[in-house]
Amino acid sequence: MTQLSMFLPADWLDWDAARLEFEVRKHNRLYWDENRPVISDPEFDRLVERLRSINPHSPVLDALGPDPAARVGEPVTHRQAMLSLEKCYDEKTLLDWAAKFEGDVVMTPKVDGCACSIRYGADGRLEVAATRGSGTVGEDITANVKRIPNVPARLPVTAPVEIRGEVYLPLSAFAKLAGEFANPRNTAAGALKQKDPAKSAAVGLRFMAYDVVGAGLETEVEKFAQAAAWGFEPVEHALLDRAGMQAGYESYVARRQQLDYEIDGVVFRANRVDEQVRLGATSHHPRGAIAYKLQGESGLTILRDVEWSVSRSRIFTPVGIVDPVSLSGATVTRISLHNWGMVRSKGLSIGAECVAVRRGGVIPYLESVSVPGETPIDYPKTCPTGGFPLREEGDIIVCSCATGCAGAIVGVLSHYANAVGIEGFGDIWLQTLVDAGLLTQPADFYRLRPEDLITFDRMGETLAAKLVENCATHQTDLPLAVFLAALGVPGLGRTASQTLARHFRSLERVRAATPAELLGLPKFAELSAEKIAAGLAAQAHTIDALLAAGVTVATEPEPAATDAAGGPGPFTGKSFLFTGTLAAMTREAAQARVEALGGKAASGVSKALSYLVVGSEGKAGSKLQKAQEAGVTVLTEAEFIALLDATAAP
């Protein structure tokens, strides 16, 4: 399997459209033009879909594929566009797609090679072979394709016909080239562009047919049979009804390591050609086909045990302990089992041989069970830290303790500290302080004293004083949105908190809001409005305790006056990034001020960044150098405050 060494950074979801466009262009070039990708296909797909959701009209989305300027062979215009495939990552999307047409579905593996078109003339001779290229114009690779041993030089036809398929390098052939090339797909791409056909042939390329164009055939199954009759190797295929599609996909996930070629998904296509014609196509993909993409490198392993972790919402989640397996370049011994419902639905048992996948190169999880084990799995009946009974609620296991056990308390405290910016309290320290009775709720952060902490091992005077100072720094004038998000109310994340803060502007008004009032806000459905209102009411004790401990929550300023064109504020279209330690306010407060004036708090340095603000307390780090290299305007903290004051001036 292809091993890639780089993955998307943790903050990629915070990138703006300009940064996403830059990254998509870069990784598109590395994949198509330089044949040296550094992120996996699922990660690239996520970048593209994120850009599409933020800026669906971005010109970058229409420029995916190889750069025409990087073409080696002569251009070849396709008689019929070689479009990409629509992608999906779950069964629901697949079933929604399949509901749009009549008839059965054909399933094939999505071979990870190079798409190729081979035209034969009316005399049956191979005339031209071309890469997919832009979908409209490809690159002439005729001389090299003629040297592929399973590509017929002549067909028994009396009219022009075109065979489309995938040029690939078998894994067995690639193994003999170990150390010379990055991966089979890149090796195949390089060999096809080789100017010396003899050197191209020496690599060991093969061709697998997946379409016959121009022969008047009525079904996909007929096309595969015709390709085989003419001497081609057709792609492995199966005719399915809709109920068997997910099982078919999972069969390829389980068999992936047994195949002699790389796959990056499973293709489903309407079997009837007339239904494909009726559905038509977009400028990007035919509507009669879809690619169910693999979501990361997979591997077989054995489930040896199950551990249960508890969240701040008192939900117990199963974690699988497995034999070491290499996934996306990392050795994995723990995988997510999602929830109790999945354990039951897949009939999971100890000793089972299962397929583990590393989604996007980050989160290892169980994809399917290949061979059942012998020992059934059951959830614990009592909480191991508090002794309270556990109960089933649908697909999840929940602790019956209303106030939260010690394990859940650590999650609550960790969430609050991270949300408001209190640094230095990792889970080990939090557990230690919970066990000692010093921390039982978020308000206790503000009651800690250095003399309380100095008694613990590995806790010197300097560290104790620093931790207490960190708490005090994030005690007053907390931005309302930050405070709300820190409460851990289900459904009340950062975006929803910002919406509440901008609409109600004070904590008192937020606490008094009814579900009906919340329902009138953008993107608040009836269920979420009721859940958030109930969650805030349930957190009344926590909020009161925080206020009693000296926490103050800033009132949001009145909405900035709009300009003549109805713009939202003086910072509209501007983005700010903060680095170093601010003296006049917390970073969260500064970000809130920017957003209240219509600006955006950025997460990283890019050429699209408007301002980098450097705190007067120092510790600017590498962001300052990157901003200077990118030509970004750098403001001192004093200059930033002056800019804020200028926006408030009459």
Distance in angstroms (rounded) separating the CA atoms of residues 286 and 275:
11
Closest by alpha carbon to 635, among 619, 616, 612?
612
Q: CB-based contacts of 641: which residues, under 8 Å, 6+ apart?
A: 584
Residue 508: how many CA atoms within 13 Å on its side-chain side?
A: 3
Distance in angstroms (rounded) separating the CA atoms of residues 77 and 81:
9
Are β-strands 363-371 and 315-327 bridged in parallel, bridged antiparallel, or unpaired? unpaired
Structural contact between residues 52 and 61, judged by C-beta atoms closer than 8 angstroms: yes
Amino acid at position 101, single letter: F
* Residue 638 CB-density burial (10 A; 0-12 exposed, 13-18 middle, 19+ buried): exposed
Structural contact between residues 605 and 612, judged by C-beta atoms closer than 8 angstroms: yes
Sign of the four-CA dihedral 10, 15, 21, 26: negative
Q: How far apart are the first and last CA of the chain?
A: 64
Lookup: tokens for 589? 């407060």
Active site residue 223: no
Distance set, CA 209 to CA 145, 223, 237, 456 (Å): 13, 9, 11, 68
| Helix segments in 77-229, DSSP class H | 91-98, 142-145, 171-175, 184-192, 197-203, 220-229
Residue 612: how many CA atoms within 13 Å on its side-chain side?
A: 24
SS3 category, 318: strand
Backbone angles phi, psi at 425, to 5 degrees: -105, 85
Q: CB-based contacts of 463: which residues, under 8 Å, 6+ apart?
A: 424, 453
Angle at 345 between CA 340 and CA 346, to 5 degrees: 100
Distance in angstroms (rounded) separating the CA atoms of residues 296 and 203:
27
Structural contact between residues 482 and 415, judged by C-beta atoms closer than 8 angstroms: no
Structural contact between residues 375 and 358, judged by C-beta atoms closer than 8 angstroms: no
Q: How many CB atoms lie within 10 A of CB 245?
A: 21
Lookup: tokens for 214? 């121009």
Catalytic residue among 87, 110, 223, 293: 110
* Residue 166 CB-density burial (10 A; 0-12 exposed, 13-18 middle, 19+ buried): buried
What H or E segment, with its residue span, contains residue 105? strand 105-111
Residues designated as active site: 110
